[in-house]
Structure 1
Amino acid sequence: MDFIHQFLSIIFPLLTTLLLLFFLPPYLLFKLLSYILRSFRPENVAGKVVLITGASSGIGEHLAYEYARKGARLALVARREDRLTEVADKARRLGSPDVLIIPADVSKPEHCKTFVDQAVNYFGCLDHLVSNAAVIRLSMFEDVTQISDFGGVMSTNFWGSVYGAHFAAPHLRKNRGKIIAIASIAGFMPFPKHCFYSAAKAALISFYEALRVEFGSDIGVTIVIPGLIYTDMVLQQSYSSEIQLDFLPGQSAEGCAKAIVRGACRGDTYLTEPAWYRTFWLLKMLCPELLDSFCRLVLIGKPRSAKKTS
């Protein structure tokens, strides 16, 4: 058995390389033509029902506005009812024919079942689930005193999305709907002080990749990988004081939301925004050590010196 693995370790990479040399050019051409075709024939979401979590601010808020401009009916979910009301009022003015607000906490499975049921009972169907709700908490791992304090990061960023997908899937399947999962560039880049946030987003990416295979063509899955987006969460003083952001140009939440809705209507499987952040995927695959050094030096400065012991 060991001999077989040794043999495959030599032969399989060679065969894969040869296959890619012949297969990759026509495959890339096919993807380009498919992208062009889908761009000319995007999904019309006018009148369709879109449920957005984390809709009270940031990307979620602007997603609500962008879907509203396209005439979608909206179910907006977040914990802050007062902010949801403001977002809903603006969404109506921008063109949404009907907006339902549902105060809820996605980290609680009973809340997720409730907001999906309320949306379906109110509108009669569900076409898009936009899983956007997220929280962030920064710390160097060695500075953490209680690991359990970071449980909410995983509960909201990962399990909150899982619960929503679980309860929404039967309704989405009926209409051949879509799930738009908002992950993060931190899901594959080694951002310092983001270890728990990164773990949750990496789990989210893997979860929806597996789900896409399980759903097949019944439910579309678009995994969104935003880079640095200027949301309230990023612009708050506690974040900017922890991470050096000067070397990474960011994008507005409004611009990101426009790109996400376009990508979802095109039926993209992945969407990285801003698009140039996709270069980091290549660095991750080809020279991970360089990416590690870049993230450490650029985002947190010089390495911390070892503590002296007497």
Structure 2
Amino acid sequence: MAIFNTILNWVVPPASLVMLAFAWPTLCFINACEWVYNSIYSENMEDKVVIITGASSGIGEQIAYEYAKRRANIVLVARSENRLRVISENARRIGANHITIIAADVVKEEDCRRFVNETIKFYGRVDHLVNAASLGHTFYFEEVTDTSGFPHLMGINFWGNVYPTYVALPYLHHSNGRIIVNASVDNWLPLPRMSLYAAAKAALVNFYETLRFEVKDDVGITIATHGWIGSEITGGKFMLEGAAEMQWKEEREVHVTGGPAEDYARLIVSGACRGDSYVKFPSWYDIFLLYRVFAPNILNWTLRILLSTHGSRRTSLVGTGRPLLDYSGRPLLEGTSPSKFVASPTHFAQFSPQQVK
């Protein structure tokens, strides 16, 4: 068996690459035809019901506007009710058929059960569940002096997707609905300062890839992965995607390039309505996955060169040399642990769902 595996180790990778090279033009043609067909017969979202978690900011907010353009019934979920009111009014002006806002914490199963049950009680169905709640970080793991925020960060990025899915899945089966997942290229592309975030996203992607086989064709699953997403690209500022009020900003030493959240949200909703299994923004990141599998050392060397620290860690390409701000906008005092950003969730009262016509 050892000799057999040794032979396969040498034969299978190059043979697979050769086969892929010859099959690539045909696969591209088939994918293009499938894309055109699905675009023509894209799902009509008018009067259908969409639940969007993490809808109070960033990507979740922009996704809400995209569904509003399609005249869907939208349920906005986040912890900040005041912010949801503003977004619901914007979505109503854009064209949303009906909007409901519910203050809830996706890390708590009972809250997830509450907003799903309220949705079913009012609308009678769920067609799309968009898991957009996410929380990033930009600290080196060994710099952390207080680990109390770790469970919450992992909770938002993983359990904050699993719990809503678990509660909504029976209703999605009934409507042959779809789950949309906001993941990240960090789930397989290693980048410094994102260790916990990357680990949570990797777990998230693997969970939904497995769930895809379990639900078969009864419930569709669209996994969206993105590279850098910024809504304050100019002036060297960069805003990480956020979950409700749990977001923070930092000023970069360099200008960060990347597509805006609006474009990413547009691709997500269009892909979900076409029934796409994956949405990638930008798609050229995939080439790094090929290196990750077949030439990991080359990828590691390349990333080490591109992300070299040039002395101080806090002036690296993905680091910061400026004072950090917490999610309320207050400067973080010198010497305070970066983990304080996610130390404890903000508590909220149990609000009743607000209906907006």
Q: Same fold (TM over 0.5)?
A: yes
Which residue does the alignment assign to 2:205? 205
Which residue does the alignment assign to 1:80? 80
- CA displacement at 1:206 relative to structure 2: 1.0
Gaps of 5+ in 2: 241-246, 314-357
- Percent of aligned positions that are identical: 40
- CA displacement at 1:189 relative to structure 2: 1.5
**Structure 1 residue 268 corresponds to structure 2 residue 294:** no
Structure 2 Cα separation of the partners of residues 205 and 188 of structure 1 = 10
**Structure 1 residue 28 corresponds to structure 2 residue 36:** no
Are the equivalent residues in 2 in contact too, given 1:192–1:296 (CA < 8 A)? Answer: no
Distance 1:17 1:187, change over 3 A: closer
SS of equivalent residue, structure 2 residue 200: helix
Gaps of 5+ in 1: 306-310
Which residue does the alignment assign to 2:41? 41
Distance 1:303 1:186, change over 3 A: farther
Distance 1:290 1:240, change over 3 A: farther
- CA displacement at 1:223 relative to structure 2: 0.5
Are the equivalent residues in 2 in contact too, given 1:75–1:100 (CA < 8 A)? Answer: yes
Residues 71-115 of structure 1: per-residue CA shift (max 9 Å, x gap) = 000000000000001111111111111101010111111111111
Distance 1:182 1:48, change over 3 A: same
Report 1:107-186 matches (<5 A). Answer: 107-186=107-186
Are the equivalent residues in 1 in contact too, given 2:46–2:97 (CA < 8 A)? Answer: no
How many residue pairs end up in the alignment? 303
Are the equivalent residues in 1 in contact too, given 2:59–2:265 (CA < 8 A)? Answer: yes
Distance 1:275 1:20, change over 3 A: closer
Distance 1:109 1:215, change over 3 A: same
Which residue does the alignment assign to 1:240? 250
SS of equivalent residue, structure 1 residue 189: coil
Distance 1:303 1:141, change over 3 A: farther
What is the TM-score with the length of structure 2 in the denominator?
0.77
Distance 1:156 1:213, change over 3 A: same
- CA displacement at 1:200 relative to structure 2: 0.6
- CA displacement at 1:65 relative to structure 2: 0.8
1 or 2, which has the higher helix percentage?
A: 1
Are the equivalent residues in 2 in contact too, given 1:107–1:156 (CA < 8 A)? Answer: yes
- CA displacement at 1:239 relative to structure 2: 4.6
- CA displacement at 1:294 relative to structure 2: 4.3
Are the equivalent residues in 1 in contact too, given 2:13–2:294 (CA < 8 A)? Answer: no
Residues 38-79 of structure 1: per-residue CA shift (max 9 Å, x gap) = 122211111110000000011111111110011000000000
Structure 1 Cα separation of the partners of residues 13 and 305 of structure 2 = 34
Structure 1 counterpart of 2:285, from 277, 291, 294: 277
Residues 243-290 of structure 1: per-residue CA shift (max 9 Å, x gap) = 6553x5112221211111111111111111133333333343344334
Are the equivalent residues in 2 in contact too, given 1:244–1:300 (CA < 8 A)? Answer: no
What is the TM-score with the length of structure 1 in the denominator?
0.88
Which residue does the alignment assign to 2:333? none
Q: CA RMSD in A?
A: 2.5
Which residue does the alignment assign to 2:259? 251
